[in-house]
Amino acid sequence: QALQRLAKWLQVEENVIVDSVRASPWIHIDETGWKIQGINHWLWDFVNERLALYRIRRSRGRKVPEEVLTKDYSGIPITDFLSAYDKTGALRQRCLVHLKREMERILELDSSQESKAVYKKLNRILNDAYRLDDLREKLTPVVFLHRLQLLQARLFRFSTANYSSKHWQRISARLIKYHREILTFLKVPNLPRHNNHAERMIRPSVIFRKISFENMSNKGARAHEVLMSLLQTLRLSEVKAIDYFKKAYLSHRQGYSLVFMPP
């Protein structure tokens, strides 16, 4: 209960993180299984290079990103291919590392000549996209745009081709649905093309899940949200967490305003 009391006093600090996340030009999002009193929930993280926000919800659907970021969020979510993110943000970038992992798994399941050829074709498209991103500063805008358009055309042709393998049929169907969200990183300079940061930032909670009973009450879950959001944001900002918690708790108990403002 001490952690719950601490979290209650520090909610005002967490509100600053919420506002900053909603104002971010892009945000990584991920989710993992969680339990409250043994009942299945999901722990979500909304993170970038300086901010971390966590939410525990019963739903794994789109209402959670809409709640956290609001329906008016104009930034770019960087996510896996979960359909819950389909309506979030003005643009979206789907994680290319997730896509490549799926391609590798398919090659393990189906090592036929056709499968190898399809893998090679899609892998070449993605690698050419990476190289184009690396050459961004060396090319004129006209040349860069022309090469981007060629890549988009190649990706669309790949997505609409016929494949006998059910695995590659699944990938092509996914790419048809999300072909406009695969190469967004080429349209927006410095936009990450994978969601590894979200996976790294959710890992501390995954470790916590393995060595604990997760949360035994809604109040405990709320305390986890607040304290984990602050702790991880402080770490990203290279602020000493223990010193901050001491100062913030005492300041709020005495009626003072915000102690820490995330950059």
Residue range 114-162, pLDDT digits in tens: 999 999 999 999 999 999 999 999 999 999 999 999 999 999 999 999 9
pLDDT at site 131: 97
Residue range 20-42, pLDDT digits in tens: 999 999 999 999 999 999 999 99
pLDDT at site 250: 85
Q: What is the mean pLDDT of residues 213-220?
A: 91
Report whether 68 contacts 238 (CB < 8 A).
Answer: no
Burial class (CB in 10 A: 0-12, 13-18, 19+), 27: buried
Tell me the pLDDT band of 249, cut-offs 50, 70 and 90.
Answer: confident
* Rounded Cα–Cα distance for residues 223 and 48 (Å): 21
Quick one: three-class SS letters along 140-185?
Answer: CHHHHHHHHHHHHHHHHHHHHCCCCCHHHHHHHHHHHHHHHHCCHH
Cα-Cα-Cα-Cα dihedral of 50, 66, 206, 32, to 10°?
A: -140
pLDDT at site 118: 97
Q: Taking Cα atoms as reference points, which of 160, 155, 157 lies closest to residue 179?
A: 155
* Rounded Cα–Cα distance for residues 204 and 54 (Å): 12
pLDDT cut 70: percent of the chain above it: 97
**pTM for this one?**
0.92
Task: Write the CA distances from 178 to 38, 51, 76, 112, 159, integer angstroms.
Answer: 35, 27, 14, 26, 10
Q: Strand pairing partners for 94? A: 79
